[in-house]
Amino acid sequence: MADIGLLKREIKVLTFDLYGTIVDMQAGLREAAAPLLKSKGWDGDPNRFVTWWRRTHFENSMIDALCDRGHTPYREIGHRAVSYTLERAGVPHTSEEVERLVSEIERLKPFPEVVPALERLAADYRLAILSNGDRDMLEAAEPHIGFKFDHTISVQDAGYFKPHHKTYENAARTLGVDRLEIMHVASHAFDCIGAKAFGMRAAFINRRDRPFGRTRHEPDVVVSDMAELADLLT
């Protein structure tokens, strides 16, 4: 773990991944998908379905960024991912049902400890969302989070999905601070690695108690949830 005293002196802004870090994506989408799957007669595990969905979405977003032929909206990637996952599961569906499932992303709720932790952190730092979500999706999500961030930054502005370096570069430029003065907070190793590779600090929220993996871009801190992060940094 890095020198916490040094981090507290140098960090001015905390940026947060939204999906899976601030809001409980797995549980929220499982709850949204279960009634549809049941109505279609699918007797599989809705949790497993959502895992397929999220993995497919991630894979497609990485392909989109690597092809470098223009940024595809997060919502469109989501429609592709859900359609593919339903086909893989053998579930008949309409485009309207796909769109309805993807729209549930905009209504996800935060993990229980998140808002109190953010309120504590806000006393010492500027707080910002840095998300792969589209601008309109992030705006729609705000009322469901229950906390007003100082800034909300979509990768749409950079034209790439995280962990492309331009997403973090655009965030630093938008926030008007040096990259070393930013700590990016995420529950995804790839996002922490992207931030560290760009030169930001990073905090890994290890909710599932899993190893981070071997990389030269280690996070500065590893905590079990947002409350523990607030304990460290305030």
- Residue 182 — very low, low, confident or very high, per pLDDT cuts 50/70/90? very high
Nearest Cα to 20, choosing from 199, 124, 141, 120? 141
Q: What CATH number is associated with residue 16?
A: 3.40.50.1000
pLDDT in tens, 39-53: 999 999 999 999 999
Separation between Cα atoms, residue 86 and residue 56, nearest integer Å = 11
Same domain, 141 and 85: no
Separation between Cα atoms, residue 65 and residue 163, nearest integer Å = 9
Cβ atoms of 18 and 133 closer than 8 Å: yes
Same domain, 124 and 223: yes
Nearest Cα to 223, choosing from 183, 185, 180? 185
- Kindly state the average pLDDT of the residues 82-92: 97
pLDDT in tens, 142-169: 999 999 999 999 999 999 999 999 999 9
Last residue of a domain, one of 106, 136, 157: 106
Same domain, 170 and 228: yes
Check residue 2 and give its pLDDT: 85
